[in-house]
Structure 1
Amino acid sequence: MNNKNLLVVILIVTIIFSCKPSEEKNITVNSTAEQELIFPKGKIIANDNFVGNAWLEMLVFADSINQNSVGSVTFEPGARTNWHSHPNGQIILALEGEGYYQEKGSEKKLLRKGDVVKCPSNIPHWHGASSDTEFIQVAITSRINGSTEWLEAVTDQEYTKR
């Protein structure tokens, strides 16, 4: 066997053995990487503007150049914001779980991973998790012309109404 044929045989054997799955590896469909959060869960929100437990991880703080704040909010099942409004509106990006969004006087909308909501300026609304599923969202809020106006809590009757 000449050197060229020997190299071809070595290459073929290497490919065959490198493609053989290792018996020592335990490959699962749901890898740990798929189950990890995109952003850290953050710190529990300790104020009266939420019903139930929610966590906030601030991703961007508004400043004099870019007057938008961006935060990742994780709501436990049943948790929600109070009614509130924003002078320049808000954008909500649903990342995980199931949640709700409702504007005053409108029907409640179900939110799932990949949904995007553009909240109009100065319209009272609330958002949060469904009753049995955690909900993770990113909220993008302009800080031009003032800050969030927090209103009354969303009652259980409002929350459960279809």
Structure 2
Amino acid sequence: MYITRQRPGTQRGATENFTGTVWLDEIAAPPPPSRLRMFHVHFAPGAHTAWHRHPHGQVLHILQGEGRVQRGGGEVEAVRAGDTVWIEPDEWHWHGGGPHTFMSHLAVVEAAGDGTTAEWGEHVAPKNRRA
């Protein structure tokens, strides 16, 4: 058993992967053979990810506020504190804060054998962010 009492510092979301103000805190990245990764992600109003997908899927658990999620070909959906979202392996999607509200979530992924956790695509077109 390991208890982590000190974590890496909060990181600003990279502009190539995020629109708006986004902050990430790494919560867990156990040593191999585990490939689990967990992050606490904070989105300012209107901030969101670019389109992306994960090799083994992703779980989002909304902790605070109200946000938006969308999968490729689907409608934009509102999510609120207490909601949990399962994103299928290799499903293109984006997620972020609501138009006028902050949102934070826990994001849990399993890294691929080579250590990658996500494949990033293009930024979300403004018309796709509404709902």
Contact 2:69–2:94 (CA under 8 A) maintained in structure 1: yes
Tell me how large the CA RMSD over aligned residues is.
1.5
* Post-superposition offset of 1:138: 0.5
Residue 121 of structure 1 corresponds to 89
Contact 1:62–1:143 (CA under 8 A) maintained in structure 2: no
In structure 1, distance between residues paired with 2:63 and 2:23: 14
Residue 156 of structure 1 corresponds to 126
AA aligned to 2:106 is V
Aligned residue among 52, 57, 75 for 2:25: 57
Identity %: 32
Higher relative contact order (CA 8 A, sep 6+): 2
TM-score by length of structure 1 reads 0.71
Larger Rg: 1
1:4-43 correspondence runs (5 A): 42-43=10-11
In structure 2, distance between residues paired with 1:155 and 1:63: 37
Residue 147 of structure 1 corresponds to 117
Aligned residue among 109, 130, 150 for 2:77: 109
* Post-superposition offset of 1:61: 1.5
In structure 2, distance between residues paired with 1:111 and 1:105: 18
Report how many aligned residue pairs link the two structures: 121
Q: Cα gap change, 1:153/1:71 in structure 2, threshold over 3 Å: closer, same or farther?
A: same
* Post-superposition offset of 1:85: 0.3
- Structure with the bigger percentage of strand: 2
Unpaired runs of 5+ in structure 1? Answer: 1-40
Runs of 4+ in 1 over 3 A off after TM superposition: none
Contact 2:76–2:128 (CA under 8 A) maintained in structure 1: no
In structure 1, distance between residues paired with 2:13 and 2:122: 17
AA aligned to 2:63 is L
- Structure with the bigger percentage of helix: 1
Residue 82 of structure 1 corresponds to 50
Unpaired runs of 5+ in structure 2? Answer: 1-8
In structure 2, distance between residues paired with 1:119 and 1:144: 16
Task: Report the 3-state secondary structure (helix = DSSP H, G, I; strand = E; otherwise coil) of the residue aligned with 2:67.
Answer: strand
Aligned residue among 130, 134, 141 for 2:98: 130
